[in-house]
Structure 1
């Protein structure tokens, strides 16, 4: 049982995937195998024979461990992998083209409902591994949702996000890819995504804290489910 804090079951949980938001817990014991995603601005400490940390905006796979300084984290477990593609038939999912009318109608990309999971005040450069400055820290609302695609799905090259994001692979194997142009032949970085991996943000963050995204896409090698962690700058 977590000490202090609270636990909230996320809206897209179902019989296939259990997803919990753990907030403001001094200690959190991990019993069963699961993916832990740190969505706080501070590290989580893993107590074990060889103590380690889960840095902000990263993840790992754990079991039989004790977490300390668990300020804000997502816990995900695959409960049933048989017919896992059936998640998209649930009431919390929709085909992405129903949300974005311009999306190509022949691409089987599905998105779940989105949940708020607190807020943070950080210098955006922290997500890119750059040295942060308190003077550039701004408040963000943090939101999470799941995505699904079957194997060999091109989820479309795109750019122009107004928010910052990272993705954590939950099921299957996929790729986060960068391109010089809106052309798959201009690929220049190919990040292989296996369960439990979170990639660094793809945004190019300037010295003043502003950001710009390159052309990029997700590509599903197998049937894939991944978590999107989005940071939306608060507006006054």
Structure 2
């Protein structure tokens, strides 16, 4: 199932926070909470880990936004986007130490918010490929260990790998068939095969990659996944059977 990217709003001006929440929902993102204080935000993150935090720098209370971000980053690697009405050098330099993904100056437009979040998602994906390349495993930027990010209806959604049934080639496109939706990506099946985590997926035909955990039946020349017969080429069947034996 495609999951919306989860965003926490830490903002003590409730009218601004409610407006941001509405805009995020319209853009297809899931708001995990609107929190006015840094201390409460830290607790919220521990219980409902979001993908991104929108953080007002000038929070009222014991902790300002930068201090809150520093504490969060001790335990969680969550991207921070700062909201600020006061972008002076002192605040900016202090905020830089927390390596934020973006700054948004108030007042801001919906497009500013949308672009900042899309850039953040893009950077998150790029960092994943960097980490995995360092470990000797080059993986596409949009693929994480347990999910992939895909563009769907003008927004980025997260699809759990366990929910992907199979991937079908359509010329220079790939169609991901999941348990409840389909997603079309501008990518060849060959490129997709090179980038998907091998422990979950295997190419069984020039036009199909399947999720090993979703196979219901194996026949002579095809397999069944979710009542669909998917052809298996002779050259790839032996590897498929070997992989199934090791699961």
What's the TM-score once normalised by structure 2's chain length? 0.23
Decide which structure has greater strand share. Answer: 1
Decide which structure has greater helix share. Answer: 2
Relative contact order higher in (CA < 8 Å, ≥ 6 apart): 1
Max radius of gyration: which structure? 2
